Amino acid sequence: MKIIGITGGVGSGKTEILNYLRSHYNCRVIIADEAAHELERRGGACYDALTALLGKDILGADGEIDRGRMAAAIFGDRELLAQVNGIVHPAVRQYIADVIRQERAAGQTDYLFLESALLIENGYDRTVDEMWYIRTEEKARRERLRQSRGYTEAKTDSIMRRQLSEEEYGRHCTVVIDNSGSLQDTYRQIEQKLGKGSCQEL
């Protein structure tokens, strides 16, 4: 089983690429942010520590952590943010390590794709066998964010400023998938790298 990291800036189209990989290849996909959501649920590895740190005001009516309330609780407090990250990031890392171990033991999966915008910052380039940078021209990214998420230019600017530069992504990634054009062109690049998929599209 080959482990491939998928990263890139906001609006680069990682979700669409992961959907294609899921439907065309014998693979397992882990999305780090989704793993964090699951671990923050009641009964998850992070729930008790986060509620002890931030208080029950971050809980919704259903007793689950409300991510909006949690974000508001740590807004502007770098020390508190660091404490939250100190709870969530190690738990996500352990979850990913457990899944990799299980998939290797089962021996039925050709690829495991690990996606996160922070793969490089969180050191996952040392976990994967290969890193893919999903590169998309900034103009296209901005337009996608405006249309699909309703982001203002100011919000997009704020997010992009906090992310790595194209040069930094390039230093850590051995494969670049250019997603600035049509999806069919992107899919061709993936097939050139992995070969034709063996799974039927769902």
pLDDT at 202: 34
Cβ contact 194:111 at 8 Å: yes
Which residue type occupies 201?
A: E
Asked if 128 and 3 count as a contact pair (C-beta separation under 8 A), the reply is: yes
**pLDDT at residue 87 tops 60:** yes
CB 50 within 8 A of CB 65: yes
Question: What would the pLDDT profile of 177-201 be if each residue is shown by its tens digit?
Answer: 999 989 999 999 999 999 877 654 4
Residues facing residue 59 across a β-bridge: 65
Average pLDDT (7-17) is 91
Residue 63's region, left for phi above 0, alpha for psi from -120 to 50, else beta, is left
Q: Where are the domains of the chain?
A: 1-26+110-193, 32-109
What average pLDDT does this structure show over 38-58?
A: 96
Average pLDDT, the chain: 91
Number of Cβ within a 10 Å radius of residue 108: 9
List the structure tokens of 65.
Answer: 């952590």
- CA distance readout (Å), 42 to 47, 48, 50, 97, 187: 6, 8, 11, 21, 38
Q: What is the pLDDT of residue 199?
A: 56
Q: Which CATH class is domain 1-26+110-193?
A: alpha beta
Per-residue pLDDT at 30 exceeds 80: yes
Distance CA 191, CA 168 (A): 25
SS in 3 state form for 91-103?
Answer: HHHHHHHHHHHHH
CA distances in angstroms from 70 to 41, 59, 66, 82, listed in the order given:
13, 8, 6, 13
- pTM, two decimal places: 0.87
Residue 26 tokens, joined: 């014998």
| Res. 162: pLDDT tops 50 | yes
CA dihedral 147, 153, 154, 160 (to 10 degrees): 80
- Distance CA(22)–CA(30), nearest Å, equals 11
